[in-house]
């Protein structure tokens, strides 16, 4: 009898397992697509990057073949690719655990190009189990374009690393369908290239700083001059008459006049020493005297001289920085000494940025610093304006050029901010609103967020946006 009961139990478990297995929904196809169907390579640029994405990470390495055909161009005469093409075909590979692969198109030096040329690309093969998506063809025009619109996935993660606290800041240029991904910890200080002389801290990596009011000589500054807790970013601490948690981080609303490091004075003696913690608000960082920098910034002609050293070092070094009118800032990293690094695209080549950043929370009528994932800032310094539009006023589909006059554009950096998404009860986009973006060239786009998390079938760290040109500038 016991044997019979045991047999029946086993049969029941197998049947239950089989039933559960059958009820599990099948995984959707892992599709492959170009990031954008059309890109431009303007006259002043020497190369373009084209990216191919999978819908999700692959378990095995995937071989990809891309055919190319130039119009008005000859491979090797006017352009080349990296990696090199053979018989008008590129052989690429997406590694196991990866989600994308990219390649470069480079102009040949001194090639004669008149701007009417283009290259057509076609993903001809992709290894199993990958399925061809809807955007397996792409065109690169050898001139600037004004996109009619597109749907883009903002890849805020690297490889298999995922999560709400994404590693990347993703810069988006709507008119050229272009994305630029930069690790958030790439830089520490940004030096304004505008008419002013200002220095920004990296809020996207939680950089904090304090001023040593009586100090102008870096060599005289020692660990005894620093109270370590003064550099801690008080995440979640509400403001009160005795607690001022915003004093050691840059203005979270983007008001550069309220940043930690005041405008650099033309009088050297007025420029004091600052102590900088490169990652004060990072979730993984620990406050340590060994990690701290001491800096002092002076004007040098129309640029800057940066004096810098580790806190415990007894001598400092200098680096001169020249403003670049094509960019909002000149960015500096301290990974290996002080050096200029590429971060933002040129100020005319991005409209908005998705990232993690120190921002603010509010409760009980008070505000406090808060590390926000999935926050979006517009390029206010590049002339970008934006407006939030409720779908109860006009739907995304019905918003047309005639609606622009009644749209209240704002120049605030945080017009979009965190208002586009919800993290409770389930992470997802808010479908009751969309945004209208006016770029620095006067092009007007309507933009909505399609997905970003479990609440809308999306993936945290990889939000999907859709935008449509409403009016060409």
- What is the band of 285 on the pLDDT scale with cuts at 50, 70, 90? low
- What is the band of 381 on the pLDDT scale with cuts at 50, 70, 90? very high
- For residue 240, pLDDT beyond 90: no
Predicted local confidence at residue 244, as pLDDT: 62
- For residue 372, pLDDT beyond 60: yes
Predicted local confidence at residue 255, as pLDDT: 92
Burial class (CB in 10 A: 0-12, 13-18, 19+), 143: middle
pTM: 0.88
Scored b (16 or more CB within 10 A) or e, 340-374 reads: eeebbbebbbbbbbbbbbbbbeeeeeebbbbbbbb
Are 470 and 447 in contact, with CB atoms under 8 Å apart? no
pLDDT in tens, 342-368: 999 999 999 999 999 999 988 878 888
Q: What are the extents of the domains in the chain? A: 28-145, 148-184+345-473, 188-341
Which of 1-10, 179-188, 239-248, 289-298 is predicted with the least confidence, judged by mean pLDDT?
1-10
Mean pLDDT over 186-194 rounds to 97
pLDDT in tens, 62-106: 999 999 999 999 999 999 999 999 999 999 999 999 989 999 999
pLDDT in tens, 391-409: 999 999 999 999 999 999 9
CB neighbourhood size of 131 (10 A): 13
Predicted local confidence at residue 243, as pLDDT: 55
DSSP string for residues in 12-74: HHHHHHHHHHHHSPPPPP-EEEES-SEEE--TT-SEEEEEEEESS--SS-EEEEEEEEEES--
β-pairing, 339-341 vs 329-333, is: antiparallel
Are 124 and 89 in contact, with CB atoms under 8 Å apart? yes
Predicted local confidence at residue 225, as pLDDT: 96
CATH top class, domain 28-145: mainly beta
* Percentage of the chain exceeding pLDDT 70: 90
Find the helix or strand (DSSP H, E) in which 5 lies: helix 2-23
Predicted local confidence at residue 391, as pLDDT: 98
Dmax (CA) for the chain in angstroms is: 98
* Percentage of the chain exceeding pLDDT 90: 78
Mean pLDDT over 457-466 rounds to 92
The one-character DSSP state at 455 is: G
Ramachandran class of 231: left when φ > 0, alpha when ψ lies in -120 to 50, beta otherwise: alpha
Find the helix or strand (DSSP H, E) in which 8 lies: helix 2-23
- What is the band of 282 on the pLDDT scale with cuts at 50, 70, 90? low
Mean pLDDT over 359-385 rounds to 91
- For residue 296, pLDDT beyond 70: yes
- What is the band of 245 on the pLDDT scale with cuts at 50, 70, 90? confident
Can you tell me the distance from the alpha carbon of 449 to that of 432, in angstroms, rounded to the nearest whole number? 11
Residue 449 bridge partners (DSSP): 465
Predicted local confidence at residue 235, as pLDDT: 81
Predicted local confidence at residue 13, as pLDDT: 42
Predicted local confidence at residue 425, as pLDDT: 80
Phi, psi of 211 (to 5 degrees): -95, 140
List Cβ neighbours of 165 (8 Å cut-off, separation of 6 or more).
Answer: 283, 356, 371, 373
- For residue 19, pLDDT beyond 60: no
Terminal C-alpha separation, the chain: 84
pLDDT in tens, 324-342: 999 999 999 999 899 999 9
Can you tell me the distance from the alpha carbon of 274 to that of 314, in angstroms, rounded to the nearest whole number? 15
């Amino acid at each position: 009898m016991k044997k019979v009961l045991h047999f029946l139990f086993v049969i029941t478990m197998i049947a239950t397992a089989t039933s559960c297995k059958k009820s599990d929904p099948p995984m959707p196809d892992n599709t492959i697509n170009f990031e954008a169907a059309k890109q431009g390579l303007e006259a002043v640029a020497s190369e373009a990057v084209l990216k191919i994405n999978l819908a999700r990470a692959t378990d095995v390495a995937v071989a990809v073949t891309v055919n190319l055909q130039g119009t008005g161009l000859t491979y090797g005469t006017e352009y080349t690719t990296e990696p090199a093409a053979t018989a008008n075909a590129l052989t690429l590979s997406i590694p196991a655990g990866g989600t994308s692969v990219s390649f470069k198109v480079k102009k040949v030096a001194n090639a004669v190009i008149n701007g009417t040329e283009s290259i057509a690309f076609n993903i001809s093969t992709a290894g199993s189990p990958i399925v061809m998506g809807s955007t397996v063809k792409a065109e690169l025009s050898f001139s600037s374009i004004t996109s009619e619109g597109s749907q883009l996935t903002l890849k805020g993660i690297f490889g298999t690393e995922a999560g709400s606290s994404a590693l990347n800041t993703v810069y988006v240029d709507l008119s050229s369908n272009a994305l630029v991904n930069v690790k958030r910890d790439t830089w520490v200080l940004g030096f304004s290239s505008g008419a002013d002389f200002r220095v920004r801290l990296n809020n996207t990596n939680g950089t904090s700083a304090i001023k040593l009011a009586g100090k102008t000589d870096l060599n005289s500054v020692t660990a005894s001059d620093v109270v370590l807790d003064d550099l801690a970013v008080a995440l979640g601490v509400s403001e009160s008459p005795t607690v001022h948690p915003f004093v050691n981080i840059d203005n979270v609303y983007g008001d550069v006049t309220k940043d930690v490091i005041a405008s650099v004075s033309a009088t050297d003696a007025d420029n004091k020493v600052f102590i900088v913690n490169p990652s004060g608000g990072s979730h993984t960082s620990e406050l340590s005297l060994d990690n701290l920098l001491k800096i002092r910034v002076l004007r040098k002609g129309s640029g800057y001289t940066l004096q810098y050293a580790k806190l415990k070092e007894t001598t400092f070094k200098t680096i001169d920085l020249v403003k670049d009118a094509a960019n909002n800032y000149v960015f500096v990293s301290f990974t290996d000494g002080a050096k200029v690094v590429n971060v933002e695209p040129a100020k005319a080549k991005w409209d908005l940025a998705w990232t993690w950043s120190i921002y603010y929370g509010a409760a009980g009528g008070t505000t406090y610093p808060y590390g926000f994932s999935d926050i979006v800032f517009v390029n206010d310094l590049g002339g970008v304006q934006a407006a939030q539009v409720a779908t109860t006023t006009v739907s995304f589909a019905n918003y047309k050029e005639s609606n622009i006059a009644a749209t209240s554009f704002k120049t605030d950096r945080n017009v979009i901010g965190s208002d586009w998404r919800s993290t409770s009860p389930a992470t997802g986009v808010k479908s009751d609103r969309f945004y209208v973006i006016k770029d620095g060239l006067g092009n007007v786009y309507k933009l909505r967020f399609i997905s970003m998390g479990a609440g809308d079938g999306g993936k945290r760290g990889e939000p999907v946006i859709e935008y449509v040109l409403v009016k060409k500038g």
